[in-house]
Chains A and B, each alone.
Chain A
Amino acid sequence: MSSFGFSADPLDPARYRQLLIDDACGGFVSFEGWVRNHNDNRPVVRLEYQAYEELGRKEGQRVLEEARQKFEISSALCVHRVGALEIGDMAVWVGVSAHHRDAAFKACRYIIDEIKHRVPIWKKEHYADGDSGWINC
């Protein structure tokens, strides 16, 4: 099983983890991306994510399939939040289960790195001074 999706509602890591449980697996690794209160030395008060979801789902799915090709994993799941988020909210969740831990660690790292660079998602930060801006744009 491998699946990538977007969620307009708060992420639910307990539910996602449940989807990856497999008696053949000896290891599970997850990564949670959180909204932090600063970026480049500027205080951040909230942010919003916007995604081109039709293409994003395809590209996210391709990343997960690549991870399955490259590493000996059983299952991988990634969910990215869209909409308005507050400090401390979970922006992205990645989970991987595998027979052995090494593949799970490597695949989890691969997935979050590729998702960040390839999936059409944009982040707008709102700063404490009232300014705001799209990151990287």
Chain B
Amino acid sequence: MIRIRVEFFAMLREHAGRANEDIETDAGTAAELYAELSGRHSFPAIGSMKVAINQEFADLDSRLADGDAVVFIPPVAGG
């Protein structure tokens, strides 16, 4: 098990009902973590979701390490 700090934005924050969550997980990758969170919070399909690990863009297949900070990034809409 590893401990991950997840921060939520936009509709993920509304689905989760909170801005962040500390989670103990067996997920090996960011995509696996998303699948686990989806089950709990009824998140939308991973579709065009991106991910950031420790404040930098990363691949969804990236391996997670104990203490990582993870943010899933829905399609953006600035401007």
Contact = CB atoms under 8 A, between A and B. Distances in A.
Instruction: Give the interface residue-count category, chain B.
Output: 10 to 19
The size bracket of the interface on A is 20 to 34
Contact of B79 (A33, A50, A52): A33
A99 to B, nearest CB: 27
Given A115-B79, A137-B10, A55 B52 contact: yes
Contact of A136 (B7, B56, B74): B74
A136 B9 contact: no
Interface string A94-137: 00000000000000000010011111111110000000001111
A46 interface: no
A91 interface: yes
Nearest to A57: B55
Given A55-B71, A137-B44, A122 B79 contact: no
B52 A134 contact: no
B75 A55 contact: no
A119 B56 contact: no
B77 to A, nearest CB: 4
A49 to B, nearest CB: 7
Contact of A134 (B7, B73, B74): B74
B78 interface: yes
Interface of A: 33, 49-52, 54-55, 58-59, 80, 91-92, 112, 115-124, 134-137
